[in-house]
Structure 1
Amino acid sequence: MNPYIGHDSQLYGIEEHRLVGGKGDGMRLLEVNNGKGLELTVSPDRCADISRLRYRGINMSYFSPCGYAAPAFYDRTGSNWLKTFTAGFLTTCGLQAVGSPCVDEGEELPLHGTIANTPSDQVYWIEEDGYLVIRAVIRDEALFARKYRLDREIRVSLTENEFVIRDVIENTGDAVQPLEVLYHMNMGYPLLDEDSIVEILSDEVAARDEHAAEDLENWMKMIKPEAGYVERCYYHKFEKEGKASIYQPKIGQGLEISFDQEVLDCFVEWKMMGVRDYVLGLECGNCYPDGRDVMREKGMLKFLEPGEKVKYEVTVRML
């Protein structure tokens, strides 16, 4: 017990808020402050994703033009996912599909799946062993269809400026199901600009398409916002250690993302240098965003047996 304070929230803690007005009306937000400069906002009504990330009062993530949008506004048709893509620091893509809309074995699949627009059934937080811990349960289940349960834990350190995302995904149905996951993490201004130093410690880099291949030698170089910019995606392979970072010398801050490259074996760099659409995605996952049909054709599609669980963990450390 600290004799100098009346309540722990003078120094650190988690507060629950609700949005009023606009497309985000009624959405719950968990405002997390570790007391050492790290602040993040968790959205229980959007898969317990992380909508904002700040370090020492400076924004680190990208917030899209559509802003906060409640799940009720989600339209799963084609690429209409983009109309409610808040982005934020983390948007989880999956679980039945990631990437381009497609038809796979007769199932029509929307852009990036539906999990990011699914509210948590349960959410609570505790202080535990030097961490602020948020736990949430998100169910991606339907009648006559796939049945997945996502148990998410976000552990925010009270001693270091870092946090860990731990996910356990279980096939709660009675049939083998394909599983695609992408941790769509989005860097934004002022962390991101033309002077940002981007390091991805991969052993192999490949362009997603011919457009990206035209500028492959500059995959790590950021530019000023450019009108009419067309996104470029690069696929990275890691042999030993999954790690990527971005550092902004003008503010003396950055962040590092680390993950197990054996289970999250597909890393995407999404380079989008447009006007207001200015974002760098550093995205680890178990698939590439080319559509589930393409992953199946390439023999890269992952599956879960009934009752089977898979665990993923991503660590984000401030620099």
Structure 2
Amino acid sequence: MRLYGQELTRREVAALSGDLSQFAGVRQMTLCDGAEAGQRVLEFRTGTGLRFTLMVDRCLDIGSCEYNGMAIGWHSAPGFRNPTLHDAEGENGLGFMRSFSGLLMTCGLDHILGGYEADVPEYNYPGRPTATHGIHGRVSMLPARLTGYGERWDGNRCFLWAEGVVRQSAVFAEDLELTRRIEVEVGTNDIQLIDEVRNRGFNRTPHMLCYHINVGHPILAEGARYVAPIEDVVWAAHADTYQDQGVGYARPSGPADTFREQVWQHEMKADADGNVAIALINDALPLGLEVTTRKSELPCTYEWQHLQSGGYAFGIEPSTHHVLGNGFARERGEMIWLEHGDSRLYTVRLKVLTDTDDIARSEAAIVATQMQPDEPFPMPSGDFRALSGRG
């Protein structure tokens, strides 16, 4: 492994300390104060300056994340509330906003995006003919059953890992299970997520998934750059007032007291291996975050600009479905339906770009796949490409 500029064998690392935890490791902690109190957290340190926490009781999502003391992930005013305080049905489905925080929040498993009331004859229960969904679904506030964590050695390489199971279920409703594994190699800044969503129930069940990846200051700052292989700007929530705030898709502004959130959907081009890489870069630091997903698994990507003072965040959101949501997916026959035992696999890579060489390599690969529009306000096409083979 590479530590502190040296290439070291497992024996050499062992000789330098009584325990690897002096340099890197994963350990479980319990938060004990305020609205966070009572939650299990796994803290990862890779020996490079990368530190992040997995919120075990919040879907094993990534909460805080930093590199050499510089924040990567976004922290909201509500913070990392204990999920026992969460009301998924509250505020006409907007209760999500009282728990929305962290580098990663998983949205799903049967609904994402805005609130929606769906007919659910598949659950065969006359007393509940419809299901009411709040924004971004329920899974992000469900605790995981932690099945393991620790170190895994492969020769002279060491990997830190954790795995758990999150089950979203109800009587006469969905019974979906998310199995999540997170790995990061000691001496690197690459976080790997492998997720499997399976229908444990015996009713045909809808499935939607979105990874809400939220970058904060100091990567997010005036002068930062959104770099992505954009073939087409499909949709903008603010198309009727497109240029009024003076912030285009590629260059965020600094915080503004009255900023109203801006959301886009972009059609991304995959590279020769079927991957889509997107980065938010701050050249002045230099520091960035690159997100890589599989186009076949997550064909849609949203961009979220929440540049309001006190909430300052930038979202990269790979998704299974178009931004118009649950009803749109059903109308077009694009909803994913899982029969008993059916599953879907998703892989996500989060890489912290720590110097100018890292940034240059990331940008060169993205640009080689597809040049993004130069125009900061490209007119949305409204061309929502068909998502075939969803069942």
Say whether the fold is shared (TM-score over 0.5). yes
Q: CA deviation at 1:212?
A: 7.0
Q: Pick the aligned partner of 2:143 from 110, 119, 126.
A: 119
Partner AA of 1:219 in structure 2: Y
Asked if 1:139 corresponds to 2:167, the answer is yes
Distance (whole Å) between structure 2 residues aligned to residue 123 and residue 306 of structure 1 = 23
1:138-177 residue pairs with structure 2 within 5 A?
138-177=166-205
Give the gaps of 5 or more residues in structure 1.
none
Residue 267 of structure 2 corresponds to 237
Partner residue, 2:257: 227
| TM-aligned CA distance change 1:52 to 1:222, over 3 Å | same
Is the Cα contact below 8 Å between 1:98 and 1:290 reproduced in 2?
Answer: no
Cα RMSD for the two superposed structures: 1.6
Corresponding position: 1:15 with 2:27:
yes
Pairing 1:78-93 to 2, within 5 Å after superposition:
78-85=93-100, 87-93=101-107
Q: How does 1:27-38 map to 2 (within 5 A)?
A: 27-38=39-50
Report whether the alignment pairs 1:260 with 2:294: yes
Question: Which structure's CA Rg is the greater one?
Answer: 2
- 8 Å CA contact 2:81–2:99 kept in 1: the answer is yes
| Counterpart position of 2:17 | 5
The answer to whether the Cα contact below 8 Å between 1:62 and 1:188 also exists between their aligned partners in 2 is yes
2:59 to 47, 69, 72: 47
Give the residue type in structure 1 aligned to 2:306: M
State the 1:261 CA deviation.
1.0
| Structure 1 residue 213: Cα displacement | 6.3
More helix by share: 2
Deviation at residue 254 of structure 1 after TM alignment: 0.8
The equivalent residue for 1:305 is 339
Distance 2:230 2:65 in 1: 25
Tell me, yes or no, if the aligned pair for 1:186 and 1:279 is still in contact at 8 Å: yes
Say which structure is richer in strand. Answer: 1
- Unaligned residue ranges in structure 2 (runs of 5+): 1-10, 120-129, 354-391
Structure 1 residues 217 and 73 mapped into 2: Cα distance closer, same or farther (>3 Å)?
closer
Greater displacement, 285-294 / 261-270:
285-294
Tell me the secondary structure at the aligned position of residue 6 of structure 1.
coil
Letter in 2 for 1:222: P
- The separation in 2 between residues aligned to 1:62 and 1:164, in whole angstroms, is 19
State the one-letter code of the partner of 1:93: C
* Counterparts in 2 of 1:179 and 1:204: CA distance versus 1, 3 Å: same
Query: Does the residue aligned with 1:88 lie in a helix, a strand or coil?
Result: coil
The answer as to 2:76 corresponding to 1:64 is yes
Report the TM-score, using the length of structure 2 for normalisation: 0.78
Q: Which residue of 1 aligns with 2:126?
A: none
Return the TM-score normalized by structure 1. 0.95
Q: CA deviation at 1:160?
A: 2.2
Contact 1:207 1:213 in 2 (8 A): no
1:240 maps to amino acid: A
Cα deviations by residue, 1:40-82 (Å, 9 ceiling, x for unpaired):
1001000000001111221011100001201111111211111
Question: How far 1:111 sits from its partner (Å)?
Answer: 1.0
Are residue 250 (structure 1) and residue 280 (structure 2) matched? Answer: no
Q: Distance in 2 between matches of 1:236 and 1:208?
A: 9
- CA shift at 1:127, angstroms? 1.6
- Residue by residue over 1:274-312, the C-alpha shift from the partner in whole angstroms, topping out at 9 and shown as x without a partner, is 011111000111024433123212333222121111100
- Worse-matched range after superposition: 51-60 or 238-247: 238-247
Summarize deviations over 1:6-44 as a string: whole Å, max 9, x none.
111101001211111211111111110011121110010
SS in 2 for 1:122: strand
Retained in 2: the 8 A contact 1:99–1:288?
A: no
Q: Residues of 2 paired with 1:13 and 1:227: CA distance?
A: 40
Distance 1:257 1:62 in 2: 15
Equivalent pairs, count: 318
Which range moved further: 298-307 or 88-97?
298-307
Within a 5 Å distance, the mapping from 1:196-235 to structure 2 comes to 196-211=224-239, 214-215=242-243, 218-235=248-265
Structure 1 residue 185 corresponds to structure 2 residue 224 = no
Check if 1:109 corresponds to 2:133: yes
Contact 2:191 2:349 in 1 (8 A): yes
1:12 and 1:65, CA in 2 relative to 1: closer, same or farther beyond 3 A? Answer: same
Equivalent pair of 1:198/1:245 in contact (CA under 8 Å): yes
Contact 2:180/2:196, CA 8 A, preserved across alignment: yes
